[in-house]
Chains A and B, each alone.
Chain A
């Protein structure tokens, strides 16, 4: 399957280079970039699925141009899952960009295609390489290419967002490099294979884990290192935002799992690592969705919601680390299985929602939800796809978000029934945090869909909006169908993901589905059948339909009123619940939690001030260096020149004396 993967990366590179070279002919550049990305995505899917289904990976190794680092590629099930996620969203984004990027005409679409394709290629390479040097290389390449995508609009907001993103990404990737360096000094090699076999003393393992955790957590968008996310994701073009929010932040979780479970864990880890991860996850989940509620900008709301979902994924991962450290293989397998399922699901529905936001931006030219409204009539297919995305992210049965949250709850339950007190205390508390998050997410996305698509238009652009063209609809529809598939078809997918977690933990596979059922390892603990729930929900519609037909002989067709009822007054369009008014109650009830968000401003300002100070100091130091080096030599040469100039008298007789003196000196020299 590595040849499929290599071809996929080749497609990316060709698409990117072609887009850059053909940038003068914008239509062709857009087509090349889009088809490159779409082809890469489809090939990546074909590369990943055999590895996932069989559970066996491939390893490929060459020596590469550097003697200290071999170019090793290890396409194991975890890498295959990440490649699958990257490919699915890339295929969608590629087709989407064929029509969406036309909005950016004359602003450098060739460069956008180049950076996007390079971004995808660097992500795919980062998850499959098995060497710390190449991993860091592709990680940095990923950050740089996504930086250029964030600042694409080149207005003040985008540049500020890009700067913040770049600063935090690099500051924290240094922590990752330090962690790898520590492992290198202990093992003497930069290969991940040697890291896996390294036998570290517990204190060193903890230091490495903490460094790697914070380094990767900044990229994943965990609170409090998430400050770049709500600015960077909205600034980028929508298909790039979909990739950044749906895929790139997952690479942060991938890094945490690689270092925490693959290298260090599976028995050698400590339980407090896992509880630390769960704590950060819980805080990110609750505060993330709470801050999402306060947003009017649809993309910022989706960005904060990504923070929330990363929190949910980390809660499952943390419990898996606890299970691996405490000799509870079922808890570990279940936790990782739930985390991987939510990883996949979030990529699907967040990608769908960002593509939908892009469609809204395309049609109404605004990101402000208060300016939209009534778009369900004007853009029916976008509305339907966005509804599926909203239902999925609110964990409504029988869609995919519900299955992964159900598995996460079962992980908490398994921790709650374990023999260790920490698990029995903290597992149910984490479940309560997830319940709060779920309820808030429901409110957030009811508001989002309702304010954008339901009721009446609140502005002129919304009233004139048109449905988006098919290259933008097809990817959204495909992602929506996948959301439904991974929900209703959970029994099919669950065992595959459990296999991935078994491969990472190097343990036996935990069976979590059979037939029509999904269960957390032990069917006595709980069972779930999403196909059954789906069938029942549809089938039980017969009852209200038959009630409705009860007195049909006297039935008269409904009358459409002139306006909604407002106690007899004249109805105006402002008389509908507003975007901010809808969330007023939780904003007041949880106002103390919102105070923490005020901390984001000072952090940003601190970063900006410190960098500005460093720049000013550098500007002051540079002239000093200038003086010492260049001025000295320049002044010296000038002085020497002036002295030499004094020799020139301008008198012809003086020059004759010079010639005679030189002649005499040469004759004397010859005589000696």
Chain B
């Protein structure tokens, strides 16, 4: 019975993140506007955009095959799967058998596989370049993400997300410096994964016409944009679930669950607000400079690993 309840909570979590994702990206847009001395489109603009796109007619390039058509649906399904297993609202992972850090990283890889493949499938040169950049950034970023998560997993004794989060929360780990360094490294890796400036090379609007999104339009574009908003929210929710675990529900009573939801949304908004400062003060990194920056992040993760070995 408890597993059924947890499954329901996971589903609730996934739907919540799906519905809230355009809101937090709308907040980003408004803050960017304020930075640029504009009024901005309003917090709910992304919802209005998606609503309108759903009825626009799609235009599909002639060479596109079934991968191009299937990708938007697969992306949302994959991101919802990750959203279901993160211990975001409740302190356990709602779906333990799929809630492993390695499983989560590789479900992100599943999404990336189909996003890149659809970029090549569209036959557009811009989408192809975007696909190439998407996979290159993954090559640079995935090891950092894995090492940072591995460090906290080793300290917690398990690769299960719920166990890691609970162990960190109840402060059973004494290696504080290692956890802090791992948090910094993972925060950086999440920022790169989200694809926000200065790491939005894959979907660089001004450079390559939107990268893998170039040839999408209408309903499929609405789904793709929603998938990418959801990916950003899920990445931040993963970070929050592990490193900022305060205020989650400890029992399955409806009151604590609703409170947990509100606190999750508040944390998401706070993190996106902070991220907006980074987003709007940098210019986009060129692809070959990104590697220097990610190597520095890898160094931070290696430092965290060294600290954890020493038990500091």
Contact = CB atoms under 8 A, between A and B. Distances in A.
Interface of A: 374, 376-377, 391, 394-397, 402, 405-406, 409-410, 413, 416-417, 421, 424-425, 428, 431-432, 435-436, 438-440, 442-443, 446-447, 449-451, 453-456, 516-517, 524-529, 532-533, 536-538, 540-541, 543-545, 547-548, 550-551, 554-567, 575-577, 581-586, 588-589
Contact of B60 (A405, A551, A559): A559
* Chain B interface main SS type: helix
B157 A564 contact: no
B58 interface: yes
Contacts of B146: 431-432, 435
A10 to B, nearest CB: 44
B55 to A, nearest CB: 4
A451 B121 CA distance: 9
Contacts of B288: 585, 588-589
A526 B139 contact: no
Contacts of B147: 428, 431-432, 435
Given A454-B120, A455-B122, A561-B59, A532 B139 contact: no
Given A446-B116, A454-B117, A577-B131, A561 B62 contact: yes
A558 B109 contact: no
Contact of A450 (B73, B84, B105, B117): B117
B129 interface: yes
B64 to A, nearest CB: 8
Nearest to A383: B65
Contacts of A391: 113
Interface of B: 14-15, 18, 51, 54-55, 57-63, 65-67, 72-74, 76-78, 80-81, 84, 95-98, 100, 102-103, 105-107, 109-110, 112-113, 116-117, 120-129, 131-133, 135-136, 138-140, 142-143, 146-147, 150-151, 153-154, 157-160, 163, 209, 214-215, 218-219, 222-223, 226-227, 287-288, 291, 305, 309
A397 B106 contact: yes
A562 B62 contact: yes
A543 B74 CA distance: 10
A374 B106 contact: no
B125 A575 contact: yes
A298 to B, nearest CB: 15
B142 A439 contact: yes
Contact of A525 (B62, B143, B158): B158
9 contacts: A376-B121, A416-B154, A455-B63, A516-B97, A525-B159, A526-B160, A527-B96, A558-B59, A589-B291
A432 B110 CA distance: 19
Contacts of A528: 97-98, 100, 103
Contact of B109 (A396, A425, A527): A396
A541 B100 contact: no
| Residue among B97, B153, B154, B160 with max Cβ neighbours from chain A (10 Å) | B97
* Chain A interface main SS type: helix
A143 B309 CA distance: 46
Contacts of A402: 106
Nearest to A451: B120
A171 B12 CA distance: 63
Contacts of B97: 516-517, 527-529, 532
A538 to B, nearest CB: 8
Question: Which 3 pairs show the lowest CB-CB distances between chains A and B?
Answer: A577-B128, A450-B120, A529-B97
B110 A396 contact: yes
A39 to B, nearest CB: 37
Contact of B138 (A377, A443, A533): A443
B135 A417 contact: no
A564 B131 contact: no
Nearest to B73: A544
Contacts of A451: 120
A541 B73 contact: yes
Nearest to B226: A547
Given A455-B63, A589-B136, A532 B55 contact: no
A547 B223 contact: yes
Given A544-B73, A550-B54, A526 B117 contact: no
A560 B57 CA distance: 11
Contact of A564 (B105, B139, B215, B309): B215
B117 A449 contact: yes
A154 B20 CA distance: 64
Contact of B77 (A436, A440, A449, A541): A541
Contact of A582 (B65, B128, B158): B128
Nearest to A561: B59
Contacts of A395: 106, 109
A432 B103 contact: no
Contact of A576 (B80, B124, B222): B124
Given A431-B146, A446-B131, A559-B58, 18 more contacts: A376-B121, A432-B146, A442-B113, A446-B135, A454-B63, A524-B157, A524-B163, A528-B97, A528-B100, A532-B97, A533-B81, A540-B76, A541-B77, A547-B226, A548-B223, A564-B63, A565-B214, A566-B124
A528 B161 CA distance: 12
Contacts of B78: 537
A376 B66 CA distance: 9
Contact of B139 (A416, A443, A560, A577): A443
Contact of B62 (A394, A527, A560, A581): A560
Given A436-B143, A454-B65, A544-B73, A532 B102 contact: no
A413 B153 contact: yes
A577 B125 contact: yes
Contact of B120 (A377, A406, A439, A455): A455
Contact of A524 (B133, B136, B138, B158): B158
Contact of A561 (B61, B139, B151): B61
Given A391-B113, A577-B120, A413 B98 contact: no
Contacts of A456: 62-63, 123
A576 B125 contact: yes
A374 B63 contact: yes
A525 B107 CA distance: 20
B117 A439 contact: no
Contacts of A405: 106
B103 A406 contact: yes
A409 B102 contact: yes
Nearest to B80: A540
Contacts of B84: 536, 540
A108 B222 CA distance: 58
A586 B120 CA distance: 17
A413 B150 contact: yes
Contacts of B143: 432, 435-436, 439
B65 A376 contact: yes
